[in-house]
Amino acid sequence: MSKIGVFICHCGENISATVDCERVAAEAGKMDGVEFATDYKYMCSDPGQTLIKNAIKEKGLTGVVVGACSPRMHEPTFRKACAEAGLNPYLCEMSNLREHCSWVHEKNEQTTEKAIDLVKMLVEKVKKNKPLNAIKVPITKKALVIGGGIAGIQAALDIANAGQQVIMVEKEPSIGGHMSQLSETFPTLDCSQCILTPRMVEVAQHPNITLYTYAELEHLDGFIGNFKATIRLKAKSVDYKLCTGCGACTTKCPNKKIPSEFNEGLGMRTAIYTPFPQAVPNKPVIDRANCTYYQKGKCKVCEKVCPTGAIQYDLPDQFITEDIGAVVIATGFNVLKTDFFPEYGYGKYADVLTGLQFERLASASGPTLGEIRRPSDGKVPKKIVFIACSGSRDPAKGIPYCSKICCMYTAKHAMLYQHKVHDGESYVFYMDIRAGGKNYEEFVRRAIEDDGVNYIRGRVARIYEKDGKYIVKGADTLLGSKPVEIEADMVVLATAGVSNPGAEELAQKMHVSYDAYKFFAEAHPKLKPVETNTAGIFLCGACQAPKDIPETVGMASGAAAKVIGLFSNNELTREPLIAVVNRSAPPVFSTCVGCFMCQTACPYNAIEREEIKGRDGSVIKTVAKVNPGLCQGCGTCVAFCRSKAIDIQGFSNEQMFAEVMALMNE
Amino acid sequence: MGRLGGALMSEFEPKIVAFVCNWCTYAGADLTGTSRIKYASNVKIVRFPCTGRIDFMLLLKAFAEGADGIIVSGCHPNDCHYTSGNFHARRRWVIFRGLLNFMGIDVNRIQFSWVSAAEGAKWADVVNGTVTTIRELGPYTEYRKAADYLVQQDKSIIDGQEALIKSVSSL
C-alpha cells in the first residue's frame, strides 16, 4: 500500500496568488494512497525541506510529490532532501504548479482545479516509481583535443599541466591554426607568431601531450569517461623518425607553383612542404595531389636528396584507436573567400583581398616580407579601401550574425597600412563599429585620430576595375546617403567568419549539435558555454562562433577546467533513468522477441545482443540488452518495442499510462 | 459518467493533454511561465524524456479516458537532445496519422508541433490555437463510446483469461 506525501509550495506568492494552495493540499489529502498532504510558503527553503524530511520519517512515506516550480529547477533539491531522510531519491516527483499553472493562468476556479489535476497526475505516477540507484562508471583519464589552433593549444596545455594525458589531433601538417597566419594582434599590435610559437613548441615537447599532425578524427564511440576514438593518420610519405627537418627536399622539389594555404594563395609552395618556417613539427609532408611522382609516376627528387632516407612513398594512411575520457573540440573557423561576392568582383580582381590575405601581406613572414604590395603588379597601393561586414550581418547572404572580430582587425589593418605606407590614404566603409572589449574602443579611436584612417559609414554597392584602379562605389549614410566613389589601388574585404567545411560531418560523428550556420552548439548559451549536449564533449574557440583571441583562450581554459574537473574523480555517477530489457524466470526469460527494432531506433548504439544459453551451452534465445554506460535515456526504443519488453526507468509505460489515466478520470 | 459532463456546459471546455519532451517543449512551456504569458488552462502537460519515447498507445489511451484533444510537441528537427528522437516521432506520426484516418478517428484532434526551449510565446500560441480548434470540433464522445463498448466486449474475455491464469497459477 502506497503512503504518498504531497507537499504544496506557495513559492512566496508566485503560486498562491492564483492557486488556492490550501485547497490543493486538502484535495490531495483525499486522493487514494496519499498519507499526508500539506502546504508551506517556501518548500525549497531549509524549514520546507525539513518539513518533508520529518514527514518521510514520521509517516513512513513511500513516495513524495512536491507541487512547486519546474522539476528542471528544483528536482535535484527535493530528491536530495528525500535521500537525506532515507527515501530513495527516485521516489520523489515534482508537479509543476508554477511555470505550468500559476504563472500562465488567471486567478480562478479552473486554475486551482488544474493544479489539483497536476498533483493527482504525479501522485499516480509516483505510486509506480521504483527505487533506483545511481550508475557508477569508471573514467579514462586521457583527453582528446581536436584542432591545434590557439584554442586547442591552450586547452591541451592547461589539461597537460594539470597532470593529465592529452592527445592532440590536427588536420594540417603543423599546429598553429589561423593565429599563426596573423601579422600583429589587436589591440596591442604585438606580433602574433612571437606569442604563439613558444606555445606551439611547448605542446610538441610536453611529456603529457601526444601530438598527431596531418591527422583527423575518423570515428568516435562510447560515452563520457569511456570514449573510443579512431584517428586517421594521413600518409605523410615521410618517416618522421628518420626525418631531421633539414629542408633539403623542400628546396629541391621541382614542383614549386602550388598556391600556399598558409599564405592564403598569395605565395607558392612545393609539393613536399612544411607550411611555414616555424611549423611544429618542423618536418615536411608530401601533398600527393600535387606531387609529380604520385601524379605522373616519376620524379623522386626528394628521395634522392634526403640524407637520412626518410622519404617513403608507399606509406598508407594509418588508423589508431585510443581510449579517452573527454573530448575538447577546438576546430576553429574559416573566412569567406572573395569569390563569394559578385558585387565585389567574384574573386576575379587580383587586388581585392580578404582580411586574412591582408594579414599575410602585412606579416614579416609573408610573401612580401611584410611590405604591402599589390599581388597583381607588386606596386605599393597608395589608396586602399577596407570594407567591413563583407557578408556578415547580411541576411540576404545567409549570414545574419556579426562576425565580431572584423571591426577590430579592420582598424588594425588600416593602422598597419598607415604605418607601412606613410603617404597612403586608407578608407574604411562600415555599418557600425563594434569595439566591445578592453582597450578596443581606444584602439579604433587611435586608428581614426592618430593614424588618420578615413571612416565612412555606409555600404559599398559595387567594385569595378577601370584603368588599373578599382572603383569603389558606396554611400556615406552620415551625409544623407551621399554617393561616394573612391579610386582604390587595393580593396580588403573583412569577410565573414564562417564554420569550417568539415564541421557538420565532425558534429555528426560525435553526436554533437550544431546551429544553422554549422557552428557547434553549446549546451546552454549562458550557463554552459563550453559544454556540448553530449556529456564529456566540450568545445572552445571559434568553432562555436567567431571570436577573438583573448575570448578563445579564456574559453579554452574553461573547457580545460571542465575536463580537469571530470578527471578529478575516479568514477562518474550517472542518473539511472535508462532503458532496461525485462528478464524473467525460465522458460520465458524475457518478453523480448529479439526483433531488434530497438537497435535501429537507438541513437547511441546502446543496444547489444545477449544470448541466453542453456546448461549445455546451446543458445535458447537471443534478446536485447542495454549497455547502461551508453544509454542516455531517450526512450525511443520503448516506443519501438513490439512486445513491450524494453522500458525506461523513471518514465516507464506503467508510470506514463498512470499519469494519463489520472489526468482524465475524475 | 463524469467524462461527458463538459459537453453539457454552455461553453465547452475541452480537455487537452500535451505530450512533450523534457528538453525543448517542457522547457519552452517553463519559459512561457517565466515570461508570464497567459494561456488557456485546459491543457495539462505530461513530461517525457523525448518525443521519440511517446508511444501512440498513450494517445489512444488519452482519447479513451476522455481527452478531447492532444498536443504532441518536441524539439525542432536537428535540435533533438538525443540527436534523432524527434525524427522517429515525426515518422511515427506520419504513419499513425494515416492509420487513424483509415480507422475513422479525427486526426484534427491531434496537434503535432515543434516548440523549442526558447519559444515560450509559441507554446502559448500552440495551446490557445489547439483549444480553439478543439472547441469548434466539440467533445470527442465518439471515441469514448467506441472505447467503452470495446471495454465491455473485452471484459468477458479478460475475465475468462484471468480465470484461466488463476487456475494455471494454482496448479
Q: Do A101 and B48 touch (CB under 8 A)?
A: no
Q: Do B62 and A660 touch (CB under 8 A)?
A: yes
Which segments of chain A belong to CATH 3.40.50? 4-133
DSSP string, A570-627: SEEEE----EEE---STTTS-S--S--HHHHH-TT--EEEEEEE-TTS-EEEEEEEE-
CA A400 to chain CA centroid, nearest Å:
20
For residue A451, give the H/E element and its range: none
Residue A303 has pLDDT above 70, yes or no: yes
pLDDT at position A666? 56
Lowest mean pLDDT, pick from A254-263, A354-363, B4-13: B4-13
User: A333-498: which CATH topology?
Assistant: FAD/NAD(P)-binding domain (3.50.50)
Average model confidence (pLDDT) across chain A: 92
Q: Do B30 and A653 touch (CB under 8 A)?
A: no
Q: Do A99 and B34 touch (CB under 8 A)?
A: yes
Under 8 Å CB pairs connecting chains A and B tally to 134
Q: Which of A266, A415, A256 is nearest to A337 (CA)?
A: A266
Residue A607 phi/psi, 5-degree rounding, is -95, 125
Q: ∠A285-A288-A293 over CA atoms, to 5°? A: 105
Contact between B103 and B142 under an 8 Å Cβ cutoff? The reply is no
CA B140 to chain CA centroid, nearest Å:
13
Q: Which of residues 630-649 of A touch B (CB under 8 A)?
A: 632-636, 638-640, 648
Q: Is A100 on the interface with B (CB under 8 A)?
A: yes
- For the segment A14-36, the average pLDDT, to the nearest whole number, is 93
Q: Do A114 and B44 touch (CB under 8 A)?
A: yes
- For the segment A68-89, the average pLDDT, to the nearest whole number, is 92
Q: Do B50 and A634 touch (CB under 8 A)?
A: yes
Domain boundaries defined on chain B = 14-139, 141-171
Q: Which of A99, A91, A122 is nearest to A28 (CA)?
A: A122
Q: Which CATH superfamily is domain B14-139 in?
A: Lumazine/riboflavin synthase (3.40.50.960)
Q: Which of A573, A665, A556, A640 is nearest to A143 (CA)?
A: A556
Q: Do A603 and B82 touch (CB under 8 A)?
A: yes
pLDDT at position A457? 95
Q: How far is A92 from chain B (nearest CA, A)?
A: 15
pLDDT at position B7? 44
Q: How far is A31 from chain B (nearest CA, A)?
A: 17
pLDDT higher at A362 or B148: A362
ipTM: 0.86
pLDDT at position A178? 95
Q: ∠A6-A12-A14 over CA atoms, to 5°? A: 85
Greatest Cα pair distance in chain A: 94
Q: How far is A53 from chain B (nearest CA, A)?
A: 26
pLDDT in tens, B79-104: 788 878 899 999 999 998 999 889 88
Q: Is A118 on the interface with B (CB under 8 A)?
A: yes
Q: Is A97 on the interface with B (CB under 8 A)?
A: no
Q: Which of A661, A656, A274, A201 is nearest to B50 (CA)?
A: A656
Contact between B35 and B120 under an 8 Å Cβ cutoff? The reply is yes
Residue B46 has pLDDT above 90, yes or no: yes
pLDDT at position A503? 92
Question: Which of A99, A112, A533 is the best residue to mutate to test the B interface, defined by the most B CB atoms within 10 Å of its own CB?
Answer: A99
Q: Which residue of A has its CA nearest to B5?
A: A666
pLDDT at position B79? 79
Q: Report chain A residues whose CB lies below 8 A from the CB of B62.
A: 660, 663-664
A4-133 CATH: 3.40.50
To the question of domain A142-178+187-325+512-567 being in CATH 3.40.50.150, the answer is no
Closest CB to A99 among B30, B54, B89: B30
Q: Do A633 and B83 touch (CB under 8 A)?
A: no
Residue B169 has pLDDT above 80, yes or no: no
Q: Which residue of A has its CA nearest to B82?
A: A634
Q: Do A634 and B39 touch (CB under 8 A)?
A: no
pLDDT in tens, B98-133: 998 898 888 899 999 999 888 889 999 999 999 999
Which segments of chain A belong to CATH 3.30.70.3270? 579-648
pLDDT at position A665? 60
pLDDT in tens, A467-484: 989 999 999 999 998 999
Pick one of 1.10.357.10, 3.40.630.30, 3.40.640.10, 3.30.70.3270 as the CATH number of A579-648.
3.30.70.3270
| Cα gap A364→A358, rounded to integer Å | 12
Q: Is A588 on the interface with B (CB under 8 A)?
A: no
- For the segment A430-447, the average pLDDT, to the nearest whole number, is 94
| Cα gap A483→B24, rounded to integer Å | 48
pLDDT at position B5? 41
Q: How far is A577 from chain B (nearest CA, A)?
A: 9
- For the segment A184-211, the average pLDDT, to the nearest whole number, is 94
Which segments of chain A belong to CATH 3.50.50.60? 142-178+187-325+512-567, 333-498
- For the segment A224-251, the average pLDDT, to the nearest whole number, is 93
- For the segment A491-504, the average pLDDT, to the nearest whole number, is 94
Q: Do A117 and B83 touch (CB under 8 A)?
A: no
